[in-house]
Structure 1
Amino acid sequence: MAVIQGDGQIVHLKGQVSLDRHGQVVGQNDLRAQVRKVLENIRDVLAPMGGQMADVISLVHYATDIEAFMTTGDIRQEFFAAPYPVTTTIQIERLYRQELMIEIAAIAEIPHSRFRHPEQDRPGAT
């Protein structure tokens, strides 16, 4: 499967993990809760730029237990609809914090009509 890019603004998100705004792990020992929080974090990173989950064209999942991760499709379907982003899933030994079970990196293409530069990139922003 392939995704053909259009003419929107391509945004590469760094890998998102299951941390809240205070840096605390959400869903310790609960992969399903962590997947939900990671997808919420992706949504929340895209929103200030005018992005939506429908704009995500590619995902790379780094999971500490690939079999357990594959049972979270129902959660992912709450955030994405067809056509789904192309995905790659990789099993890893661990993430940078032992409590984390999943990291997801995303690429989105936000239509120019909706795209807004993040505040920190605007001239004069602090």
Structure 2
Amino acid sequence: MAKTQVSTTALHTPNGVFSQATTVEASGRLVFVSGMTARRPDGSIAGVGDIREQTRQVCENVRSAVVAAGGTLADVCRVDVYVRNMEDFAKIHEIRAQYFTEPLPASTMVEVSKLAHPDYLIEINAIAVIS
């Protein structure tokens, strides 16, 4: 898959681990990863009260889903991030930088009042193109 990070001086440079836009040569399989939370394979919740640890588990879960579909995190071209506290932006991107490398996926992050479990601090869904 040929994925390219789009950057233009007509837009402000992103202040996190994402691109202004991402292009993908559209030959391959689209993989739509459902919202991943900090739930471990055994059903327990990682990092209760710790956004870094929850972000790490969420990224691991996204990776596991993409790998199961035959790809890698390099194939991810879009993520949507739902957080309970936007003040955690820098902490979240500190961990995301350990998982996503250039060309970075396009991304949207929004603060929400609730997630599916009261202990969840973050949820991420993703779209990957696997050639």
* TM-score of Structure 1 vs Structure 2, range by shorter chain: 0.7 to 0.9
Report the identity percentage: 32
In the alignment, what sits opposite 1:33?
A: 53
User: Could you list the runs of 4 or more consecutive aligned residues of structure 1 that deviate by over 3 angstroms after TM superposition?
Assistant: none
Counterpart-to-counterpart distance in 1, 2:52 and 2:94:
10
- Tell me the SS of whatever aligns to 2:119: coil
Greater strand proportion: 2
In the alignment, what sits opposite 1:58?
A: 78
- Tell me the SS of whatever aligns to 2:64: helix
Work out whether 1:90 is the aligned partner of 2:92: no
Counterpart-to-counterpart distance in 2, 1:71 and 1:27:
13
Displacement of 1:96: 1.1
Displacement of 1:4: 2.4
Which stretch of the first structure deviates more once superposed, 83-92 or 41-50? 41-50
Displacement of 1:50: 1.4
In the alignment, what sits opposite 1:5?
A: 24
Structure 2 residue corresponding to 1:18, chosen from 29, 33, 38? 38
Greater helix proportion: 1
Counterpart-to-counterpart distance in 2, 1:59 and 1:49:
16
Work out whether 1:80 is the aligned partner of 2:100: yes
Gaps of 5+ in 1: 112-126
- Tell me the SS of whatever aligns to 1:78: coil
- In the comparison of the two structures, how many residue pairs are matched? 111
Q: Could you give the per-residue CA deviations for residues 84-115 of structure 1, whole angstroms, max 9, x where no partner exists?
A: 1000000000111000000001000111xxxx
In the alignment, what sits opposite 2:69?
A: 49
In the alignment, what sits opposite 1:115?
A: none
Amino acid at match of 2:127: I
Displacement of 1:83: 1.0
Q: Could you give the per-residue CA deviations for residues 45-77 of structure 1, whole angstroms, max 9, x where no partner exists?
A: 111221100000000000000111332222111
Q: Could you give the per-residue CA deviations for residues 21-62 of structure 1, whole angstroms, max 9, x where no partner exists?
A: 122111000000000000000111111221100000000000
Gaps of 5+ in 2: 1-19
